[in-house]
Amino acid sequence: MGEQARARRSDAVRNRGRILTAARHLVTERGPQVSMSEIAGHAGVAVGTLYQHFPTKADLVSAVVAEQAGELVDAVVQAWERVRDDHAEPAAELLAFVERVLEAAAVDRAVKAAARSLGAEPEFSDAEARGAAALGHLIDAGRAAGTLRHDLAVSDLYLLVATCPTDQPPEVRRRWLTLVRPGLLRQ
């Protein structure tokens, strides 16, 4: 029982970090179709090391997603707190958030597709539930203030995010946001 497991070796910790960093960068800018070998190359380790830290490619990609999803949840929650506590403008906060999602969605979307095709289903975590609640509050505030479309719903946001052009270059994504923006605001 009292078995004291020896601490993880320092090189293992370092390599895990390098792998995650390389995976995040590559998946972000080139999509989920990057090969494990390429990630290994950028991380400066051998393929085998990837599999020591992440049993399968889906696990590695999931780890990247988790990071990204966490940041987004934090972003909405903070946006809602600025509105609730500091009387920030809900519409502006919402648009800023959507823009941020658009950036991150390049990772998130690709990953979702990858996860689906690999059979790894996303389970709704606590954090994600908190994010959804904050988003709901933000929208309600904007509708009440009359700056957001009167019938805007959380599902509309999901719909737009799900259809944003994640695999296009930044200027295309920005243009898309410009086109979509009027539909979110009061007509």
User: Can you give the binding site for DNA, defined by CB under 7 A?
Assistant: 5-12, 15, 33-37, 44-49, 51-53, 55-58
Q: How far is the CB of 18 from its own copies (least distance, A)?
A: 29
**Residue 153, amino acid:** A
Please say which residue, 45 or 95, places its beta carbon nearer to DNA.
45
- 175 touches, from DNA, its own copies, none (C-beta below 5 to 8 Å by class): its own copies
* Angle in degrees, 0-180, between the axes of helices 57-86 and 126-145, rounded to the nearest 10: 40
Beta-bridged to residue 185, according to DSSP, are 148
Residues that bind its own copies (CB under 8 A): 149, 156, 159-160, 162-165, 168, 172, 175-176, 178-184, 187
Please say which residue, 133 or 160, places its beta carbon nearer to its own copies.
160
Cα–Cα distance, 60 to 167 (Å, whole number): 20
Query: What count of residues does the chain have?
Result: 187
- 176 touches, from its own copies, DNA, none (C-beta below 5 to 8 Å by class): its own copies
Q: How far is the CB of 53 from DNA (least distance, A)?
A: 6
Please say which residue, 14 or 175, places its beta carbon nearer to its own copies.
175
Please say which residue, 4 or 178, places its beta carbon nearer to its own copies.
178
Q: How far is the CB of 149 from DNA (least distance, A)?
A: 40
Please say which residue, 29 or 71, places its beta carbon nearer to DNA.
29
Q: How far is the CB of 106 from DNA (least distance, A)?
A: 18
* CA dist list (Å): 21 to 58, 109, 186: 16, 18, 41
- 10 touches, from DNA, its own copies, none (C-beta below 5 to 8 Å by class): DNA
Q: Where are the alpha helices (DSSP H) in the chain?
A: 10-30, 36-43, 47-53, 57-86, 90-118, 126-145, 154-163, 170-184
Q: How far is the CB of 162 from its own copies (least distance, A)?
A: 7
In our burial notation (b when 16+ CB lie closer than 10 A, e otherwise), range 54-67 reads beebbebbbbbbee
- DSSP labels for 97-151? HHHHHHHHHHHHHHHHHHHHHHT-PPP--HHHHHHHHHHHHHHHHHHHHT-B-TT
